[in-house]
Structure 1
């Protein structure tokens, strides 16, 4: 027994050891790669192990983290986007608003930094903010606000983005001085420097140069000696170089801008690089005689534009300098090349920076040849536009004419049909209703005969023209009840009381219009009142319903007919 027990115990220990290895905790796995740099794919085998473990355990919180790590360490930009979608899926499964917001934020950063798709990035940031606006994690919320401000700044909404950054700067400033975990201190300090950098950009573009320079001095002073923020310092140096250029210190600008390049190259921030190259080109253009070095920097910006399909509005003037330079050199080939590039740049800016583009002053006049081409194309376009307009106008008039012709033809047919109906009414004698036992329900012979006599007088005296006449009023007038009255009308007239009364009134007024020309000049209100109908609209509708033609059309045709007869 002891020996058997030992074997079982050994087997059980080995099983637990294997199980423990399989159940290696998430923190242990992450320690194998968390100190590697961004885009270092050596982390991916361990990241995939982390993801597999989270999938197996259906731990969506850790699965979200795993996909987030994959986005950070994978180098391929398309795969970053794929992993970000998986991160969003896992976060949504977790039903944790903080994780969902973080996932949308991550995808937005990829759109912004890797693709420069600003509208797409802003959409993701807005989704993130919806999930994080009530979060207890204030750092996460302000991180989203910061990135929304960055995109708005790139799109040219500098006043709006400035408000975002001022709000973030206040938060990061307050947090930086508090006792926090070293990682939190680092994140808040980096948030502070990045926000300060973005505020400088906003004020510079809003032409608040004094404010921008003041904030820049603060940033450069506070970042001294902080080696962990070398990249952030490079962004401040970039701003300082631009400021020196604006103060016409071109040699100083060249020196400072060159110092900013190395760290920015490491992270492949091609947007900032294109801006630095642009100001280096402008500075060299001011100090060099041969201009060749300046032109090379402008061409570097053009290379970024061709490769990334991206350009900042601030670098647009490079192309104007290139075009003017080659025009003076009488190098038509290169002048045309950069003219075409400028047209492509404006086309892209029109799409990506629609708000800002409208404010860019375009000083350069396009090459005369292209101008003539555009004029001819525009002239041809407007010619065709004019032709199309007249074709459409003719089609409209023709349609209206056909419609009017058909309508008039239908009106004539209806008018003659009504005339025949009126003639038939005049010729036919009205037979008095006779009592029938087959139809009898509740009315006796005596009551029936009495009602026949009263209805005859009612119609002869045209009492139906009384406005507001109801079944109850008529029953009281005939000294009977509504049941007898309603039954009599249904059995002898074949309609209910309302339709019987409307028929009498319309027949009456139609006959007057047809036989007495003075009524043709009455207003509809007067005609309605004459036959006992309360409103002109009701009169018009009933006339059309019973006669099949509108009263205005009947009157019009009747007047035409009488005019023709008068001429004869």
Structure 2
């Protein structure tokens, strides 16, 4: 049976998907130096002690602006004093808050400045975090190379925390290549090692994650009786620590375990609790769809097929090309058979087409998946079966020649969709990075040059005093965020600026290069982007509420304006910023 895909990966920095870039050390230092000059780190901050800067960094770690200022100040102070250990600390802090695209470069800088130090943490932590980066990129060879280097430093420096972490992550690598028995051996050794330390509570988080990894390994080996012991221990420890997220994870394991033990009602009891906890939780849970699938499978065993189909349809509504995994494949296999038995050819073809798209994208992204794995509904079989259905429908004269061409066209469209998906995702990512790296501040002198370029008094046919007055009032209008008023009209603004609509419209069109409506909408979107970037609570609002907060009267007008201004959708921007 499909196994749960919850992997707790340990590291000492942010864990995220990172593309590999090759930079020289000089390139990295120049980039950072330019950034520090741009940031203009306050001399007052440089007078603070390292302890004060680190404390402020930790205190404001959820504030991307302040945490960056303190981390950059820490690094600049260390560079001014030529303190290698403190420089390593600075690079380490920055790697925890920077975007995933450059995290690996800061880790390389950390390694470079600390490679000749004899320190319990450095440079080992740099290699450890690089290993996690490559694991996320599914480059398991490079991940292992970095883990082994980190292990040498951990053993040499007797860094117990690193030793536990590295051994666990190597176990995860072995699970990825289906060496589950060897992975289990690593996890059990880790558990025994943790127990030999002064106190298990000191490594309580490590203990919990190891229990999870052992239970999951036993599931993959179809040994639910052995898994039960570790699932119960995990439930007890996470409940005692009030760790709601990991407790939910162990509840899901418990539901799977009881399913494997053929206690389907008990399995449902746990899975229903998981479903409810996921609904109640504020944070995103990647196992929501998988939970619904497991509920459906248990219901099928209890011959409650209608309810099972309900949960599979529910899972289908939240499965996308981005979150699809091979564990979710069974949902479409069951739905295809369900619609086939009903004789509902339209929905049968719809599920087949979805599965073909998801499989194509998933296996293109996961090239390490073994090619010899044979599933009932692999892509070739799905296409063949779909063609059989089309032929049968044609023979029985249930569809017209036009419908056949439509179905062929759908196949072509599906291919185009897959191609467009990759192209659009690449473009979206590029535009997102541009938006996230834009500090939102305008270069006033450049803006003025752009606004006045090619203008003449004859074009406006207005006195200089009136133009200057309107532009000055517009500057205040923007500074005071008056554009957030949902009922704003050009006539009312012109009246407030003590001018007429004709003059006002001419100045807007010529100096702002757009009409009044587009001018206001662009200001609102710029304000919205900055607030989404730096206000985590604001990102929790629904898209409709976000639009209302920045002055739009409907979700449609907000979405259109956001996409027109940024080139990406609001939901994509929010999801991408949450992944950082």
Q: Partners of 1:81 and 1:110 in 2: how far apart? A: 7
Aligned to 1:240: 254
Q: Does 1:128 align with 2:145?
A: no
Relative to structure 1, the CA distance from residue 155 to residue 317 in structure 2 (aligned partners, 3 Å threshold; closer, same or farther) is farther
Match of 1:31 among 33, 55, 73: 55
Given that 2:299 and 2:307 are in contact with CA atoms closer than 8 Å, whether structure 1 keeps it comes out as: no
Shift of 1:130: 3.5
Matches within 5 A, 1:95-494: 96=119, 98-112=121-135, 115=137, 118-175=140-197, 177=199, 185-186=201-202, 188-227=203-242, 229-246=243-260, 247-249=263-265, 250-259=267-276, 261=278, 266=283, 270=286, 272-273=287-288, 275-283=290-298, 287=304, 289=306, 293-299=310-316, 302-303=319-320, 306-307=321-322, 311=325, 313-328=326-341, 329-331=344-346, 332-341=348-357, 343-344=359-360, 347-348=363-364, 351-354=367-370, 358=372, 362=376, 365-369=381-385
Given that 1:281 and 1:295 are in contact with CA atoms closer than 8 Å, whether structure 2 keeps it comes out as: yes
Given that 1:149 and 1:162 are in contact with CA atoms closer than 8 Å, whether structure 2 keeps it comes out as: yes
Relative to structure 1, the CA distance from residue 242 to residue 118 in structure 2 (aligned partners, 3 Å threshold; closer, same or farther) is farther
Q: Does 1:59 align with 2:83?
A: yes
Given that 2:251 and 2:271 are in contact with CA atoms closer than 8 Å, whether structure 1 keeps it comes out as: no
Relative to structure 1, the CA distance from residue 278 to residue 93 in structure 2 (aligned partners, 3 Å threshold; closer, same or farther) is farther
Q: Partners of 2:277 and 2:142 in 1: how far apart? A: 29
Shift of 1:206: 0.6
Q: Partners of 1:19 and 1:44 in 2: how far apart? A: 16
Greater helix fraction, Structure 1 or Structure 2 = 1
Shift of 1:210: 0.3
* TM-score in terms of structure 1 length: 0.52
Given that 2:218 and 2:224 are in contact with CA atoms closer than 8 Å, whether structure 1 keeps it comes out as: yes
Shift of 1:128: 1.8
Relative to structure 1, the CA distance from residue 367 to residue 20 in structure 2 (aligned partners, 3 Å threshold; closer, same or farther) is closer
Shift of 1:106: 1.3
Q: Partners of 2:295 and 2:62 in 1: how far apart? A: 29
Shift of 1:64: 2.1
Shift of 1:205: 0.4
Given that 2:174 and 2:180 are in contact with CA atoms closer than 8 Å, whether structure 1 keeps it comes out as: yes
Q: Partners of 2:129 and 2:62 in 1: how far apart? A: 14
Q: Partners of 2:210 and 2:251 in 1: how far apart? A: 15
Q: Partners of 1:307 and 1:99 in 2: how far apart? A: 36
Shift of 1:33: 2.6
Secondary structure at 2:345 match in 1: coil
Given that 2:88 and 2:113 are in contact with CA atoms closer than 8 Å, whether structure 1 keeps it comes out as: yes
Deviations 1:174-205 (A, max 9, x none): 32627xxxxxx45x110000001000000110
Deviations 1:93-114 (A, max 9, x none): 646574122111112223445x
Given that 1:108 and 1:121 are in contact with CA atoms closer than 8 Å, whether structure 2 keeps it comes out as: yes
Deviations 1:214-235 (A, max 9, x none): 11112222333312x3333222
Aligned to 2:28: none
Shift of 1:148: 1.3
Q: Partners of 2:384 and 2:44 in 1: how far apart? A: 78
Q: Does 1:50 align with 2:66?
A: no
Given that 2:115 and 2:123 are in contact with CA atoms closer than 8 Å, whether structure 1 keeps it comes out as: yes
The more displaced of 278-287 and 217-226 is: 278-287
Secondary structure at 2:367 match in 1: helix
- Please tell me the root mean square deviation across aligned C-alpha atoms, in Å: 3.5
Relative to structure 1, the CA distance from residue 292 to residue 320 in structure 2 (aligned partners, 3 Å threshold; closer, same or farther) is closer
Given that 1:254 and 1:283 are in contact with CA atoms closer than 8 Å, whether structure 2 keeps it comes out as: no
The more displaced of 336-345 and 236-245 is: 336-345
Q: Partners of 1:285 and 1:345 in 2: how far apart? A: 29
Q: Partners of 2:109 and 2:289 in 1: how far apart? A: 33
Given that 1:295 and 1:322 are in contact with CA atoms closer than 8 Å, whether structure 2 keeps it comes out as: yes
Q: Partners of 2:95 and 2:226 in 1: how far apart? A: 37
Q: Partners of 1:274 and 1:85 in 2: how far apart? A: 37
Relative to structure 1, the CA distance from residue 237 to residue 29 in structure 2 (aligned partners, 3 Å threshold; closer, same or farther) is same
Relative to structure 1, the CA distance from residue 333 to residue 207 in structure 2 (aligned partners, 3 Å threshold; closer, same or farther) is closer
Q: Partners of 2:246 and 2:193 in 1: how far apart? A: 18
The more displaced of 272-281 and 25-34 is: 272-281
Secondary structure at 1:351 match in 2: coil
Secondary structure at 2:264 match in 1: coil
Given that 1:60 and 1:91 are in contact with CA atoms closer than 8 Å, whether structure 2 keeps it comes out as: yes
Given that 2:180 and 2:221 are in contact with CA atoms closer than 8 Å, whether structure 1 keeps it comes out as: yes
Given that 1:101 and 1:127 are in contact with CA atoms closer than 8 Å, whether structure 2 keeps it comes out as: yes
Given that 2:138 and 2:368 are in contact with CA atoms closer than 8 Å, whether structure 1 keeps it comes out as: no
The more displaced of 193-202 and 126-135 is: 126-135
Q: Partners of 1:201 and 1:41 in 2: how far apart? A: 39
Larger RCO, structures 1/2 (Cα 8 Å, 6+ apart): 2
Relative to structure 1, the CA distance from residue 344 to residue 56 in structure 2 (aligned partners, 3 Å threshold; closer, same or farther) is same
Aligned to 2:100: 77
Give the total of aligned pairs.
338
Secondary structure at 2:239 match in 1: coil
Shift of 1:86: 3.0
Given that 1:234 and 1:264 are in contact with CA atoms closer than 8 Å, whether structure 2 keeps it comes out as: no
The more displaced of 230-239 and 18-27 is: 18-27
* TM-score in terms of structure 2 length: 0.51
Q: Partners of 2:133 and 2:314 in 1: how far apart? A: 27
